[in-house]
Amino acid sequence: MTKISLQEMTAYAKNYGFVFQGSEIYGGLANTWDYGPLGAALKNNIKALWWQRFIREEPNNVGLDSSILMNPAVWKASGHIDGFNDPLTDCRKCKSRHRADHLIEAQVDGFHADGLETEVLEAKLVELDIACPGCGAKDFTPIRRFNLMFKTSQGVLDESSQAIYLRPETAQGIFVNFKNVQRALRKKLPFGIGQVGKSFRNEITPGNFIFRTREFEQMELEFFCRPGEEKHWFDHYLEASKRFLTDLGIRAENVRFREHTAEQLSHYSDATTDIDYRYPWGFDELWGIASRTDFDLKMHQAHAEENMEYQDPVTNERFIPYVVEPALGVERLFLALLFDAYHEEALEDDTRVNLKLLPALAPYKIAVLPLLKKPHRDQATTLFNTLSKHFDVVYDESGAIGRRYRRQDAIGTPFALTVDHQSAEDGTYTLRDRDTMEQIRLNEEDIIRHVREKIRF
């Protein structure tokens, strides 16, 4: 891993087609990002591997795709209307706007202020003599709480329109469908329901590229178990989450567990541990693993007046299950993977950027490169057509072969296939490995077998 700054990563991601500024030709829209061809492919691969690991390979777990727009009563029950807010304070001198918890965290190494009451935060600002990062003044307005949900309205006519919200987490779509899924799939405890989808939060201070945005994607699993078994499943999913990260190629030393103190816990949780990644600005939250107790199902039972109990098929006991929730942001993992994979390497007569992504994550698995345009193009095109039925393949015939290899290395393509004069004679191609740069000759059938083996997760 070569350490580069966030600015350098932002420029790299743009130049190679991973991430562009949103609405760029109109001057952008603050903190919105569009995912280019490579970014879209990498995101899809991240989501597919999460689904594979946490849904497909877990016999107890099933998937869901619930609506972004939900009955507003859901957010009343979940506590988001009354309690989902950030502490906002303004500098009286330079008028800059801040999150009070972030001001304190920036001052005290390792301190995490999320979840603290307004009065506690105000006292800390004074006690720690915190100054405005913009102008150095120590004169802040009282903290105001700012609800993070995006409000919109449903219905065309003013009189019939209803205020609704864009979901701030995918989790509630799972809770409200708990009974539907349990009954339809005849699931027995313990079992999990997972989903991947967009969430929206009107963050006061978005930033750090794609780390904190107002529109983002979550991969959440709600794992339902008997009361008393939550500690076991909490530990299980904490370890499973860490293993997923290291299996994806994230270095263990760049990941740490951070347990929330009693004051930092969200209103729904009796234990939470975040998995932090070492971003260029320091360790910061990548993945939250929360023990949510029976809070959500109980609240929905009360507000919707619907029975949310589970009946044990053997003992006939009825109870509301407890929930363990590993909740991960797609973009935060995307960014961590890029930082971990990015390498600048000195070669004998050259330098190269090598994006050492796990082959399963790479946007393209194979680059098909005719050595010369005219004589090799037809065979290379036929090869592309065959391989693209199996893998994500890119075709490139422009420029010197060395330059084309460099470009593929820089976007993480694990294999480059060169079509040359020998290919026409014996149907073999040169397969070059991104990391070792070693080359072997294989025929089409062996290439498919070799690559399939290497991209298995």
Residue ranges in contact with ligand GAP by CB under 6 A: 169, 171, 201, 203, 212-213, 216, 218, 220, 285-288, 325, 327-329, 331-332
- For the residues of 265-323, what is the DSSP string, one character each? S-TT-SEEEEEEEEETTEEEEEEEEEEEETHHHHHHHHHHT----EE-TTT--EEPPEE
212: three-class secondary structure by DSSP: strand
- 39 or 329: CB nearest ligand GAP: 329
Shortest distance, CB of residue 450 to ligand GAP, whole angstroms?
35
- 201 or 407: CB nearest ligand GAP: 201
Residue whose pair of structure tokens reads 């004051």 in the numeric block: 263
**Within 13 Å, how many C-alpha atoms sit on residue 191's CB side?**
20
Alpha-carbon distance of 93 to 97, in angstroms, equals 11
Measured at CB, which residue is nearest to ligand GAP? 329
Shortest distance, CB of residue 216 to ligand GAP, whole angstroms?
4
- 167 or 407: CB nearest ligand GAP: 167
Alpha-carbon distance of 116 to 266, in angstroms, equals 9
Shortest distance, CB of residue 267 to ligand GAP, whole angstroms?
12
- Helix then strand count (H, E) for the chain reads 15, 23
Shortest distance, CB of residue 46 to ligand GAP, whole angstroms?
12
| CB environment 400-411: b (16+ within 10 A), e (fewer) | ebeebbbbbbbb
- 287 or 342: CB nearest ligand GAP: 287
**In terms of Cα–Cα distance, which of 293, 295, 260, 297 is closest to 275?**
260
- 331 or 409: CB nearest ligand GAP: 331
Structure tokens at 105: 């965290």
Contact 264, 112 (CB under 8 A): yes
Shortest distance, CB of residue 167 to ligand GAP, whole angstroms?
10
Shortest distance, CB of residue 220 to ligand GAP, whole angstroms?
5
- 218 or 413: CB nearest ligand GAP: 218
- 38 or 328: CB nearest ligand GAP: 328
Shortest distance, CB of residue 285 to ligand GAP, whole angstroms?
5
Structure tokens at 419: 């079509």
